[in-house]
Structure 1
Amino acid sequence: MMRVVAACLLVCFLAKTVSAEEQKPGRLNKVIELLESRRQPPLGVFAFNPTPRSGASIASSAVDFVIVDMEHTPYDPARLEGYLLGMIDKRRIVSTGSLQPAVTPLVRLPANGREQVEYLIKQVLDLGVFGVVVPHVGNREDALAAVRAMRYAQPEGSAISVPEGHRGVGYGWAVRYWGLTARDYVAKADLWPLNPDGELLLWCMIESREGVEHADEIAATPGVSGIFLGPSDLAVSLGVTEDHPKVEHAIQRVVDACKKSGVACGTLTGSAGVARRLEQGFRFLAVGSDSGISAGVQRSLEIGRKK
């Protein structure tokens, strides 16, 4: 009898081992997965009131990503931490067998590109977010500062050691949030597509005359994952209204720079502009805010996913 039990246990163990070996780890970052596959453009919203319950609500919605705004709302890492915890859905993890969040959490920083962003980036990454949006990036130096802040120093001999990473080691909570070992987290917590296996996104916002003038060099900066166009601030910087032809000309100039460098370009738009922006070459869009998934946001999602 004991031999039979032992044999059964061995069979079960081997079955589990084979199953684990057959399972190939997928993407943790849904936005990267969508950008790589190009099967549909990632569509998301901004969050201006991060609470655990609003995090749970957005995690159950139809969007692909959420940008927690800390530029125009108070910078409060404790609130961000609660929001991220609210986004965890254990039932989904069990049912799908995947640690990939249904909605990828990103953060827009309070500091502009020309300001000191290193400590802000370190704090939000250590809480477990999958990417950072840096406002008002005006030139290559601004972009490089953000890239360095988001990266760990790479192993000796790495082919992707440049730009050198400055991120400090304090990843305990992020490791737990991602559900990985410390070693696996360090390997994956790098910028895509510079690191093809990286799971972090850096979106630099171009929303000024200076940014447009330096769009080529910003988009070509190693480590930049995408450019996010801010049309409202861009119009103010140009001294015109948002519907002025100068704004659209500047937007097209940035889109062309992104195409030239092969990085994704995104912006904020409503349902009326989704189809036009996607046809123009934008590859991801923010289509509203988390103050309820309105009919307009829902319509934007439907239009975007038909493209």
Structure 2
Amino acid sequence: MHARGILAATAAVWLVAPQAATTAGGGLNPMIALHEQGAPVFGITHAAIAAGRQRPSPPGAAPVEAPPPLPLPSLMSAAEETAAYRRADFTYTNYSSAQADRFMGFVGALLRAGASVRTHPILAKVPILHTDQALAVSRIHEQLNLGHAGVMLQEVESPEEVRTALAAMRFRAQGGTRPEDGVGLAAAYWGVSEEEYRRRAQPWPLVKDGELVLWAIVESREGIARVREIAAVPGLTVIVVGAGTLRGVYSTTAADGSRVLDRPAFDAGVAAIASACREFKVACSHPANTAAEVEALTKQGFSVFTMQTRNDAAFAAIAAGRAKAGR
């Protein structure tokens, strides 16, 4: 079904959502309550909503004919699968403007499947801010208008980037740069009126009663060099170790063409990020995909984990992490 068709089909749900949600009281974004309690936070990538390609043959294998694209998943099927799983504290997406219509349809389908920001907060990366500030700020506005519960900044290298993002998350009437219009879908997913949405859609903990979170991914030498300045910005919720990118940053190419990781330098970079998190009392995140990884990272002081796969190992990791935390 085309995204616009699903949006039209969910109009009735949107109209009753504000009354249904506001009677429950309390905060809307469950991640914030967990941060306030010092409890671990677990997220997982959402069910696929776009067509993909099958995994290619491994390096060195005999060449084969390119596999055909995987079929386009049904938005409703993907939404029902996502909504049915309620053990994660947030849903991570690979959003892009090119699939905006389809993603709007997915949010509408999530509503029809019984999901909301209370049960399935949505997070996604935005373009690198210091590469193209106008594009990044525009994407922040776009993604928040689609109901996202926060913003993930890529490759953060300065405190100014964090401040710019915080301003982009706040409406103009609140001193920010976000336009007041276009919030209908976000308000529907949050289950509040547009007026109430504008009041609550502010960054926490900068605004005590805010419901939006801001993550800064540090994944460069420049970012690590200034990580204490980044962590010190009021309003930053989470600092993420961009482990995959950092492994490339701290690797060199050997004579045989293989990549060699400078493990001491990589470990020192990760330690610097973790130290800044502790010093400025900002939650620290690291990607994880197995229960063993979650356990090891927890011992190192990490408390926010994104499962970058959606498989049995990831589901087991969340279950084990929640059990360990008594959740």
Same fold (TM over 0.5): yes
Q: Is the 8 A contact 2:47 2:81 kept in 1?
A: no
- In the other structure, the counterpart of 1:65 is 90
Equivalent position to 1:175, from 162, 187, 193: 187
- In the other structure, the counterpart of 1:103 is 120
Q: CA RMSD in A?
A: 2.4
Matched, 1:300 2:320: no
TM-score (norm 2): 0.74
Equivalent position to 2:297, from 254, 265, 277: 277
- In the other structure, the counterpart of 1:95 is none
Q: Is the 8 A contact 2:288 2:294 kept in 1?
A: yes
- In the other structure, the counterpart of 1:35 is 35
Q: Is the 8 A contact 1:127 1:173 kept in 2?
A: yes
Gaps of 5+ in 2: 1-19, 50-74, 253-259
In the alignment, the residues of structure 1 paired with residue 264 and residue 202 of structure 2 have an alpha-carbon distance, to the nearest angstrom, of: 38
Task: Compute the displacement of 1:198 (Å).
Answer: 0.6
Matched, 1:54 2:78: yes
Q: Residues 243 and 302 from structure 1, CA distance in 2 versus in 1: closer, same or farther, beyond 3 angstroms?
A: farther
AA partner of residue 44 (structure 2) = V
- In the other structure, the counterpart of 1:26 is 26
TM-score (norm 1): 0.79
In the alignment, the residues of structure 2 paired with residue 269 and residue 222 of structure 1 have an alpha-carbon distance, to the nearest angstrom, of: 27
Q: Is the 8 A contact 1:189 1:200 kept in 2?
A: yes
Task: Compute the displacement of 1:113 (Å).
Answer: 2.5
In the alignment, the residues of structure 1 paired with residue 154 and residue 238 of structure 2 have an alpha-carbon distance, to the nearest angstrom, of: 13
Equivalent position to 2:177, from 166, 169, 180: 166
AA partner of residue 46 (structure 1) = T
Task: Compute the displacement of 1:87 (Å).
Answer: 2.2
| Range moving further from structure 2, 146-155 or 195-204 | 146-155
Q: Residues 89 and 262 from structure 1, CA distance in 2 versus in 1: closer, same or farther, beyond 3 angstroms?
A: farther
Matched, 1:289 2:309: yes
In the alignment, the residues of structure 2 paired with residue 184 and residue 223 of structure 1 have an alpha-carbon distance, to the nearest angstrom, of: 21
AA partner of residue 78 (structure 2) = S
Task: Compute the displacement of 1:193 (Å).
Answer: 0.8
Equivalent position to 2:235, from 223, 229, 254: 223
AA partner of residue 54 (structure 1) = A
AA partner of residue 231 (structure 1) = A
In the alignment, the residues of structure 1 paired with residue 90 and residue 114 of structure 2 have an alpha-carbon distance, to the nearest angstrom, of: 19
Q: Secondary structure in 1 aligned to 2:308?
A: strand
Task: Compute the displacement of 1:188 (Å).
Answer: 0.6
Q: Secondary structure in 1 aligned to 2:206?
A: coil
In the alignment, the residues of structure 1 paired with residue 178 and residue 42 of structure 2 have an alpha-carbon distance, to the nearest angstrom, of: 29
Q: Secondary structure in 2 aligned to 1:88?
A: helix
Q: Secondary structure in 1 aligned to 2:91?
A: strand
Q: Residues 91 and 254 from structure 1, CA distance in 2 versus in 1: closer, same or farther, beyond 3 angstroms?
A: closer
- In the other structure, the counterpart of 1:251 is 270
In the alignment, the residues of structure 2 paired with residue 57 and residue 48 of structure 1 have an alpha-carbon distance, to the nearest angstrom, of: 7
Q: Is the 8 A contact 1:231 1:242 kept in 2?
A: no
Q: Residues 136 and 55 from structure 1, CA distance in 2 versus in 1: closer, same or farther, beyond 3 angstroms?
A: farther
Task: Compute the displacement of 1:65 (Å).
Answer: 0.9
AA partner of residue 303 (structure 1) = A
Q: Residues 276 and 89 from structure 1, CA distance in 2 versus in 1: closer, same or farther, beyond 3 angstroms?
A: farther
| Range moving further from structure 2, 244-253 or 120-129 | 244-253
Q: Residues 59 and 126 from structure 1, CA distance in 2 versus in 1: closer, same or farther, beyond 3 angstroms?
A: same
Task: Compute the displacement of 1:140 (Å).
Answer: 1.1
Matched, 1:84 2:111: no
Task: Compute the displacement of 1:206 (Å).
Answer: 0.6
Q: Residues 105 and 218 from structure 1, CA distance in 2 versus in 1: closer, same or farther, beyond 3 angstroms?
A: same
Gaps of 5+ in 1: 1-19, 93-98, 156-163
Task: Map Cα deviations across residues 86-129 of structure 1 (whole Å, 9 max, x no partner).
Answer: 2226657xxxxxx65322111212x1131221111111111111
In the alignment, the residues of structure 1 paired with residue 196 and residue 261 of structure 2 have an alpha-carbon distance, to the nearest angstrom, of: 45
Task: Compute the displacement of 1:75 (Å).
Answer: 4.0
Q: Secondary structure in 2 aligned to 1:32?
A: helix
Q: Residues 88 and 192 from structure 1, CA distance in 2 versus in 1: closer, same or farther, beyond 3 angstroms?
A: same
Q: Residues 178 and 302 from structure 1, CA distance in 2 versus in 1: closer, same or farther, beyond 3 angstroms?
A: closer
Q: Percent identity?
A: 28
In the alignment, the residues of structure 1 paired with residue 156 and residue 84 of structure 2 have an alpha-carbon distance, to the nearest angstrom, of: 32
